[in-house]
Amino acid sequence: MKQIMFIALLAASAAAAAATPQQLMQTYTELAARQAPGYQPSARRGAELYSRRFAVSDKMPACTACHTDSPVQPGQHAVTGKAIKPLAPRAEAARFSDPAKTEKWFRRNCTEVLGRECSAAEKADFVQFLAEGL
Amino acid sequence: MRTAKLSLLAVALILSTAARADRLPLPADAPPSFKAECGSCHLPYPPALLTAPDWKRVMARLDKHYGDNASLDEKTRRELEDFLVRHASARSRMAGEGDPPRLTASAWFRREHRQVPQALWRDARVKSASNCTACHSRAEQGSYRGREIALPELRD
């Protein structure tokens, strides 16, 4: 059910073609508030998630393994060495402008780094931190 | 006269083989998902650098993709597998070793890179043999000429 609602919300935002990080954050916030009424996104919690060492994966123990300690800096893929553009939309405008792409990378990278999918609340916090900083 | 013709042919053949090794352009029928999916963590590798059975093995286990989860929806996975198989090499020296097979472990790749010192593969600028652009500065354009090599100590 949760999944269906999310897909509906995603489809609604995808219909508007490109999204802004703020719109994505709004979508995640609405979803999170359904599970925890009164939920508000927090850049501080997002920053904590960004820098926390989960150590589930050897080569990718934290987001910072590829994206560096600062999301406004360019990164490097921890396995392949490929250059990665900054993750923060403050530094790289195209970030978090495509809902389907955002969801794909949350699914892949949360599974890799945290060992599980991220919750809507975690995603809202994360986008808040990357879009607006602390 | 005949000998001259034959030796010209031989030279032409040698030159064309050399040119082939330098130029590995992206096939024109590459679906947009090739760059978007395969190209997001590494250079979208030229399909001719592995054989068809190799690509099938790679695409069968995207959830365990050289230590990373690279899973795709089935439609995209199928589209990419078809594309890779269509342009795969039929030569045995292009067969990758390992499970899933690595194109950096084919007889051809090893021979082409035999002059690269072992330590350079682990250099921070390179990090991994899969990082083509670390040395081949125009790899994204399909060009692998010796004079384009980014690391001065490797340039010929």
**Does residue B60 sit within a domain?**
yes
Alpha helices in B27-136 (DSSP H): 32-33, 52-60, 74-86, 107-112, 118-121
Task: Say if residue B97 is in the same domain as residue B121.
Answer: no
Of A121 and B122, the one with more pLDDT: A121
Tell me how close the Cα of A19 comes to any Cα of chain B, in angstroms: 18
B141 shares a domain with B106: no
- Residue B30 in contact with residue B126, Cβ under 8 Å? no
Is B7 part of any domain?
A: no
Residues B57 and B102 in one domain: yes
Q: Does A44 touch chain B (CB under 8 A)?
A: no
Side chain identity, residue A126 = F
User: CB distance A111–B69 less than 8 Å?
Assistant: yes
Does any domain span residue B16? no
The nearest CA of chain B is from the CA of A35 a distance in Å of 28
- Whether residue A76 and residue B43 make contact (CB cut-off 8 A), yes or no, is no
pLDDT tens per residue across span A16-30: 457 899 999 999 999
Query: Roughly how many angstroms between the first and final C-alpha of chain A, as a whole number?
Result: 33
The whole-number pLDDT of residue A25 equals 96
Report the number of distinct structural domains present in chain B: 2
- Would B17 be classed as within a structural domain? no
Q: Which CATH number covers residue A27?
A: 1.10.760.10
Given an 8 Å threshold on Cβ–Cβ distance, is B41 in contact with A59?
no
| Substitution target from B68, B69, B76, B130 for chain A, most A beta carbons within 10 A | B68
Count Cβ–Cβ pairs < 8 Å, chain A vs chain B.
35
The amino acid at B21: A
Same domain, B121 and B67: no
Name the stretches of chain B with pLDDT < 50. Answer: 18-19
Tally of structural domains, chain A: 1
Question: Same structural domain for residues B96 and B121?
Answer: no
Residue B22 lies in a domain: no
Out of A79, A108, A111, closest to residue B66 by CB? A79
Both tokens assigned to A64: 């910072």
**Same domain? B92 vs B46:** yes
Answer whether residue B84 is part of any domain.
yes
Per the confidence metrics, is the pTM higher than 0.90?
no
B99 shares a domain with B54:
yes
What ipTM is given for this predicted complex? 0.73
Task: Determine the structural domain holding residue A85 and report its residue range.
Answer: 2-132
Q: What is the mean pLDDT of chain A?
A: 90
DSSP string, B1-46: -HHHHHHHHHHHHHHHHHHHHHB-PPPTT--HHIIIIITTTS----
**H helix or E strand, kind and range, residue A76:** strand A75-76
Same domain, B35 and B104: yes
One domain, residues B126 and B105: no
B123 with B155, same domain: the answer is: yes
Examine the domain organization and report whether B109 and B75 are in the same domain: yes
Provide the residue range defining the domain that includes B154: 115-156
b/e code A78-102 from CB counts within 10 Å (16+ = b): bbbbbebebbbbeebeebbbbbeeb
Which tokens sit at A36?
Answer: 């925890």
Query: What secondary structure letter does DSSP report for B51?
Result: B
Select the more confidently predicted residue: B51 or A8: B51
Q: Are B38 and B110 found together in one domain?
A: yes
Going from the C-alpha of A132 to that of each of A51, A89, A90, the distances in angstroms are 16, 9, 7
